[in-house]
A and B are shown apart, each in its own frame.
Chain A
């Protein structure tokens, strides 16, 4: 029985994803970064000792991505930084998506005062300027040593509202469909209608949103580090980029071109991998775009 279920799951979900070029490429890229974050630090040693005389060394066998302004190997830092980048951004995006989906679905389905109240909450979070809000949070939490989950939650607070607004709009178009009406007539519970009937239809949409949140989550997490809210991590890619562009002025010297380049390349690859996977998923599961049938 269990074997049959697994087989169904494989043919229903995994195989279509593998057969779609975009989702396959996206999965490979993401898998590469996940491996980098999990196994990478065990294989690649990190030596952060500065060696100013050997700064801005070009890429070579010894230093695959060259050295930075401090003379430290960029590749080693990318590998070790991937752990905090991936854990923090994935978690923040996940939290944002969960909050956004729950509130969005509820807002779309509910009517009357409760619906308006949710709408007002979404609007408030949409209009709060995030940077001043982060400054206030920095002042509030300045004394607290926050862990990754707490930091991810703080980041998520400023990311969920646009998704909630969009999900609410989608739900409004879905909720009058026949199968929802049928569930209502069968006296199915509100939770079932919201999260079994309606939310399922939104999964590809939500996943795409999850991926596009990664970039914002990354930016926010860097902001929090520079506000002193999150533990300062010199190998975080955002911090590396900040050092490269603002502290070391790598863009102003041809010697330093590779320094921001490799950091940006990895950020772009990570996000691009996610986008490819999201597009693939949408093509696979959205009947209008389904190409594999």
Chain B
């Protein structure tokens, strides 16, 4: 081969190499197509498209599944989605389905899909057993019969939870439909027996365990994305291209609102860290996200990307200092009151989440943003205000027999007031809050050390009670925006399970002695009746404020950053639609897209 030919080949190879390289880089660059919304989230990879598989479908959830209705807390309004209408009777909810809803593969959505979905989630997740039975009198009517123990609030769950209507489309999951129904029925029977204090028959239990395990193994391993080469969904978008770093959703052309949609593609970048999302917002790589961001970073961001706007809305949750009541130190309400008086909550908020709402001086278990709706002025006048007051704190301690020796407070038994404050390491705002709390308590004369809970071990540590005090979510109203959600968490459910606050004891109030557990049960039964709820809430608020099972630090907010450079139609800052964000911000984006409000900028 002559030298000339060799040179020519070398040039050609190099040329092809560079062209290929350019192609790759162009393909990887952030090209924006018309009608595209770019966001950040997380998802399982390899993607399986199975809501029961590990990681489910990640942040695509609210785009691929629809609930019967969306509930807007600020305007107290239900917006029908998969349901046309519904009727609530005692122990029964009848839902009339939308006739023109279809899955993304063109198959119609019917009552059969709802029945199948409920069977599947009961069999796979052992929830929601509050649904005693679900029947389909015709293709477009579903009747939910609730168990006698179901709280009134469960009606809200049925209407707004996206898992209930179409998580397991019949035509996709029919292979296991009978098996799921059988397991769900067995599970409900066992649950009913256990709830009524009876012990299920050992054989019945072992038969259930075997059948449930068998079903779970098969369903968990199933990948519609691999088997069907797609993921048929009833939502407005279907995942169509998923790589490790990018997930693309394409509009469901059979969705009943498809003709209105002006955004036909959603591209997610992986939310690998908050810093990645900050950088992506600054560069315009993504158009909206809700990361926690330090104040100075926000200032810099608005300089570098002036098209970005920020809207903060309540997250319907609060961050609190919680105590382990198995430890004798915290059984003394005086000590808890002292901690409430010592803490400068505004300072804690400033360093942790500067955008969070103003701190409430109360600890009544009602979110600050909802206080005026639920607590009467008369009740507020009866409650102790925990403004920062170290003198008051010292007086309480002295009266209770504590002594200050040197710079350290000692308990009446001579032991120093010393404890460890645990905080979940990966939650940076919690770590910052904990650092500030520790500093303030040490300045006062307590001996407090900080301990980080390693990634992935929060549940294990908190549920096993291997902590003294901790930073945790306090009351949260995300599932059902009602005081019942907060008090249930505090006195019966999640927080009670980790704090073991003696909620069945009776506590004095201006209205007599009550146990917060009983009051929460009462509230459950009257949750849908505002007047009756108010009556119970006043008593619960009093007990919570005066006996301090937890000390709230601040109400969390969701800072939503959005850019109108590529996409327009974002609602005004006071639009109630933003209040749909807590617990699933993608619902806001989905509602805006499917109502034709969001559109690519021309």
Interface set of A (CB-CB < 8 Å, partner B): 48-50, 52, 55-56, 69-70, 135, 138-139, 142-143, 225-228, 231-232, 234, 245-249, 251-256
Q: Is the CB of A227 within 8 A of B296?
A: no
Are B296 and A139 within 8 A (Cβ)?
no
Instruction: Identify which of B275, B278, B296 contacts A255 (C-beta below 8 A).
Output: B296
**B294 near A248: Cβ-Cβ < 8 Å:** yes
List A contacts of B449 (CB < 8 A): 231-232
Task: Please give me the residue from chain A that is nearest to B434 by CB atom.
Answer: A232
Known: A50-B436, A142-B466. A254 touches B300 (CB 8 A): yes
Interface centre among B282, B296, B455 (most CB of A within 10 A): B296
Say how far B441's CB is from chain A's closest CB, in angstroms: 12
Chain B residue numbers with a CB within 8 Å of A138 are 454, 457
B416 interfacial by beta-carbon distance below 8 Å = no
Of all chain A residues, the one with the shortest Cβ separation from B350 is A52
- Can you name 14 extra interface pairs (CB under 8 A) apart from A143-B466, A232-B451? A50-B347, A135-B455, A142-B457, A226-B454, A228-B454, A231-B449, A232-B450, A234-B450, A245-B275, A246-B273, A246-B275, A252-B279, A252-B282, A253-B300
- Beyond A50-B439, A225-B452, whether A70 also contacts B351 by CB under 8 A is yes
Tell whether, in the assembled complex, residue B275 and residue A249 are in contact, meaning their CB atoms are under 8 Å apart: yes
Please tell me if the beta carbons of B299 and A253 are within 8 angstroms of each other in the complex.
yes
Q: Which residue of B lies closest to A139 (CB)?
A: B457
Q: B404 on the interface (CB 8 Å rule)?
A: no
Can you list 24 A-B contacts with CB-CB less than 8 angstroms, sorted by A residue number? Answer: A48-B439, A50-B350, A50-B436, A52-B350, A56-B296, A69-B294, A70-B351, A70-B435, A138-B454, A138-B457, A139-B454, A142-B454, A142-B457, A228-B425, A228-B451, A232-B452, A246-B428, A247-B428, A247-B432, A252-B278, A252-B300, A253-B294, A253-B297, A253-B300
Query: Given A48-B439, A49-B443, A142-B466, does the pair A228, B296 have CB atoms closer than 8 Å?
Result: no
- Cα(A232)–Cα(B435), bound, Å: 10
Query: What B residues does A48 contact at CB under 8 A?
Result: 439
The answer, yes or no, to whether B308 is at the interface (CB within 8 Å) is no
- Bound-complex Cα distance A52 to B294 (A): 12
Is the beta-carbon distance between B297 and A252 smaller than 8 angstroms?
A: yes
B351 and A50 form a contact (CB under 8 A): yes
Interface residue B453 (Cβ < 8 Å from any Cβ of A): yes
Give the Cβ gap from B490 to chain A, nearest Cβ, in Å.
26
Which B residues are CB-close (under 8 A) to A249?
274-275, 278, 293-294, 296-297
B431 in the interface, Cβ–Cβ < 8 Å? yes
For the complex formed, measure the closest distance between the CB of A5 and the CB atoms of chain B, giving whole angstroms. 48
B275 with A234: CB separation less than 8 A: no
* B461 beta carbon closer than 8 Å to chain A: yes
Chain B residues within 8 Å of A228, by CB: 422, 425, 451-454
B422 CB contacts on chain A under 8 angstroms: 228
- Could you say which residues of chain B place their CB within 8 Å of the CB of A52? 347, 350-351, 354
Residues of chain B within 8 A (CB-CB) of A245 are: 275
Q: Which of B293, B451, B454 has the most A CB atoms < 10 Å from its CB?
A: B454
Q: Which of A142, A226, A234 contacts B425 (CB 8 A)?
A: A226
Shortest A60–chain B CB gap in Å is: 19
Chain B residues near A139: list those with CB within 8 A.
454, 457
The CA-CA distance from A49 to B443 in the complex, in Å, is 8
The one of B279, B431, B443 in contact with A247, judged by C-beta atoms closer than 8 angstroms, is B431
CA–CA, A255 and B435, complex, Å = 22
Contact in complex: B300, A69 (CB < 8 Å)? no
User: Is B452 within 8 A of A226, CB to CB?
Assistant: yes
**A-contacting residues, B325-379, CB 8 Å:** 347, 350-351, 354
Q: Which residue of B lies closest to A234 (CB)?
A: B435
Q: Report the bound CA distance from A180 to B454 in whole Å.
A: 50
Measured CB to CB, the closest approach of chain B to A284, in angstroms, equals 44
Cβ–Cβ < 8 Å partners of B443 in chain A = 49
Q: Do A227 and B454 form a contact, CB below 8 Å, given A49-B443, A253-B297?
A: yes
- A231 smallest CB distance to B (angstroms): 7
Contact present for A135 and B454 (CB under 8 Å): yes
Residues on A with C-beta less than 8 A from B351 are 50, 52, 69-70
Alpha-carbon distance between A107 and B61 when the two chains are bound, in angstroms: 56
A142 with B275: CB separation less than 8 A: no
Give the chain B neighbours of A254 by CB distance below 8 A.
300
Q: Is the CB of A253 within 8 A of B350?
A: no
CA A256 – CA B296 in complex, angstroms? 8
With both beta carbons as reference points, the residue of chain A lying nearest to B438 in the complex is identified as A234
Which chain B residues (193-224) contact chain A, with CB distance < 8 Å? none
A139 to chain B, nearest CB (A): 7
A52 to B443: give the CA distance in the assembly, Å.
Answer: 17
Docked-complex contact A49 and B275, CB < 8 angstroms:
no
Report A-chain residues with C-beta under 8 Å of the C-beta of B451: 228, 232
Contacts of B354 in A (CB 8 A): 52
In B278-305, the 8 Å CB interface with A consists of 278-279, 282, 293-294, 296-297, 299-301
Closest to A143 in B: B466
Nearest CB on B from A135, distance (A):
7
User: Bound complex: CA of A70 vs CA of B435, how far in Å?
Assistant: 10
Q: Which chain A residue has the least Cβ–Cβ distance from B435?
A: A234
Report how far A50 CA is from B435 CA in the complex, Å: 10
Residue of B nearest to A232 (CB): B450
Residues of A within 8 A of B296 (CB): 55-56, 249, 252-253, 255-256
Q: How far is the CB of A62 from chain B (nearest CB, A)?
A: 20
- In the complex, are the beta carbons of B452 and A142 less than 8 A apart? no
List residues of chain B with CB within 8 A of the CB of A70: 351, 435-436
A253–B303 Cα distance when bound, in Å, is 10
Cα A202 to Cα B169 in complex, Å, equals 70
Min CB distance, A230 to chain B, in Å?
10
In the complex the two chains form, what is the Cα distance from A225 to B443 in whole Å?
23
Q: How far is the CA of A113 from the CA of B292 in the complex (A)?
A: 57
Tell me which residues across on chain B come within 8 A of A251, comparing CB atoms. 275
A135–B275 Cα distance when bound, in Å, is 24
Per the bound structure, the CA–CA distance linking A139 and B458 in Å amounts to: 12
Q: For residues 377 through 406 of chain B, which have their beta carbon under 8 Å from a beta carbon of chain A? A: none
Counting from the closest, the 6 A-B pairs by CB-CB distance are A253-B296, A249-B297, A52-B350, A227-B454, A252-B297, A228-B452
| Bound: A232/B601 CA distance, A | 49
Write the nearest CB–CB distance from B290 to chain A, whole angstroms.
Answer: 15
Interface string of B249-275 (1 = CB under 8 A from A): 000000000000000000000000111
Interface residues of B in 292-324 (CB under 8 A from A): 293-294, 296-297, 299-301
Min CB distance A249 to B, Å, is 4
Give CA–CA (A20, B274) in the complex, Å.
Answer: 48
Residues of B within 8 A of A135 (CB): 454-456
Which of A49, A52, A249, A256 has most chain B Cβ within 10 Å?
A249
CB distance from B41 to the nearest CB of A (A): 20
